[in-house]
Amino acid sequence: MTRRQYIGLAVIALLIGGMLTVMNTVPRRVAAVDEATADSMAHAADSLRRKAHTRYRYDTVEVVLRVFDPNTADSMTLLQLGLRPWQVHNMLLYRARGGRWREAADMKRLYGMTDSLYRVLEPYISIAPPDTCGQDTAAVERAEKARRDTVIDLNSADTAALCLIRGIGPYSAVRILRYRQELGGYVSPEQLRELADMPWDRAAEEDGRRPIPLDSILPHLTATTDSVKPLAVNRLSAERLMRHPYLSFEQARDIYELRRERIRLRGPEDLRAVPSLTDSDRVRIAPYLSFERVEKGVLIR
């Protein structure tokens, strides 16, 4: 090697040595991280670590195949059959709203039900006939006859009594009682037509069958008007009047202003002076208004 080559190698060696010396001796600058950011980063790292090593809860449930009725099986039984927790939740919610599986093939429509899982479960699905509950034929016939002959008072019935009528399930019964409370009582069974999104208004999408129409249910219902709780129109504020389903804010305000002008409304005929009330509105709201007043414990009509 020539002298010039030796000098070149020496220069390269010096440069490499200098770079290594600087990298090992000069301290590195660390970006400052506040305490809140550090805690957040630690929490995120811990979450990622737990997600990486945690299995879903249903993966740990032991699968036990057994005969079951999807209309009565409890949540643990359904989980042990291999259903996911969210599927079990949807099934229980569907049952709570009055839904029912009438044949094994209906389970195919459960959201998330695969063909392979259905083939495994199909031999174990056993659905009891509706309304039998293990009774003999004579008992079932007596129960059906009682249903046909039953007449229920809407203003005194509870959910159990309403469910005796064919076509009214738990969901419908709760809606009927809730609307009774909002009205202050029913004056006619025909008021059930005012309830929106009821089973008798739509097709039963879950099984493709039509529900029992309301016209077949109404003959089994009556309304005792003695139980109606009227509104004291001469004492209540506009805010209280407008809570009734039959009165809007404008109508309640007009009634209140008319009362202030006339001191006291004496009967339904005085409502003709309310411009926002039509004739049909006056007929509909009249049973729910009381024009009496009390002064010093004396009832004045």
Of 258, 230, 235, nearest in space to 246 by CA = 230
Rg (CA), the chain: 37
Q: What is the pLDDT of residue 139?
A: 54
Residue 284 has pLDDT above 60, yes or no: yes
For the record, the structure tokens of 172 come out as 């419908």
d(CA 57, CA 221): 48
Encode pLDDT of 138-170 as tens digits: 655 555 555 566 789 999 999 888 888 888 888
Report angle CA 32, 37, 38 to the nearest 5 degrees: 80
Beta carbons within 8 Å of 7's beta carbon, 6+ residues apart:
none
Mean pLDDT taken over the chain: 79
Residue 192 has pLDDT above 80, yes or no: yes
Encode pLDDT of 211-225 as tens digits: 788 998 999 999 998
Q: What is the pLDDT of residue 259?
A: 86
Of 182, 261, 196, 186, nearest in space to 218 by CA = 186
Residue 104 has pLDDT above 50, yes or no: yes
3-state secondary structure (DSSP) of residue 37: helix
Residue 297 has pLDDT above 50, yes or no: no
Find out whether 223 and 154 touch, Cβ atoms under 8 Å: yes
CATH number, span 137-227? 1.10.150
Measured CA distances, 6 to 11, 12, 17, 20 (Å): 9, 10, 17, 21
d(CA 161, CA 177): 11
3-state secondary structure (DSSP) of residue 7: helix
d(CA 189, CA 220): 9
Q: What is the pTM of this model?
A: 0.51
Residue 296 has pLDDT above 80, yes or no: no
Domain positions in the chain are 60-124, 137-227, 231-300
Percent of the chain with pLDDT over 90: 27
Q: How buried is residue 283: exposed, middle or buried, by Cβ count under 10 Å (0-12/13-18/19+)?
A: exposed
Distance of CA 292 to the CA centre of its chain: 40
d(CA 188, CA 107): 40
Measured CA distances, 147 to 81, 107, 130, 164, 253 (Å): 36, 29, 14, 6, 45
d(CA 122, CA 55): 28
Find out whether 68 and 126 touch, Cβ atoms under 8 Å: yes
Residue 32 has pLDDT above 70, yes or no: no
d(CA 39, CA 41): 5
Of 296, 294, 289, 297, nearest in space to 256 by CA = 289
Residue 281 has pLDDT above 70, yes or no: yes
3-state secondary structure (DSSP) of residue 289: strand
Beta carbons within 8 Å of 108's beta carbon, 6+ residues apart:
118
